[in-house]
Amino acid sequence: MRRFLVIVFLLFVAADAKASECREYALLHDFEFFVKEYNWSKGRVQINLWDSPAQIMVIGKVLPGLQVLILDERIGYYKVRLPDVLGGVVGWVKKDFIEKVIPKDPEAIDCG
């Protein structure tokens, strides 16, 4: 039974590693960008995470420089998921706040 559980665990880890090749990530701009472009003071730089592109409610705030998983895209916004260590919260962030998009691995098979 223990051997079976180990094999299942290893298959799960391998599948998750393969799935990560099929994901697209984004890196938020750093502190300096917001200080320079928006004249924000360094101590007050936090990026709003919205419930929708309509910006009805702020559901969280994140610090610059964070890497997030891209789930969807709308005009001017990305729907992102925060890392698990930050609760895995899903929300919308302005595209202007994204420094770069880390594309899916073009060599990955079965990215669909």
Tell whether 40 is covered by a domain: yes
Q: Which pTM does this prediction carry?
A: 0.71
* 99 membership: H or E segment, kind and range: strand 98-102
Phi/psi for 34 (5° steps) reads -70, -35
Amino acid, single-letter form, for residue 40: W
Tell whether 63 is covered by a domain: yes
pLDDT attached to residue 39 = 84
Tell whether 29 is covered by a domain: yes
Tell whether 55 is covered by a domain: yes
Name the residue with tokens 């709308």.
74
- CATH number of the structural domain spanning residue 86: 2.30.30.40
Name the residue with tokens 């420094």.
99
**Tens-level pLDDT at each residue, the chain (112 residues):** 433 323 333 333 333 334 455 789 999 999 899 888 888 777 778 899 999 999 999 999 998 999 999 999 999 999 999 999 889 999 999 999 999 998 866 555 455 5
The parent domain of residue 29 ranges over 23-102
Tell whether 85 is covered by a domain: yes
Instruction: List strand residue ranges (DSSP E) for 9-76, in order.
Output: 25-28, 47-50, 58-62, 67-74
Our count of domains for the chain comes to: 1
pLDDT attached to residue 65 = 92
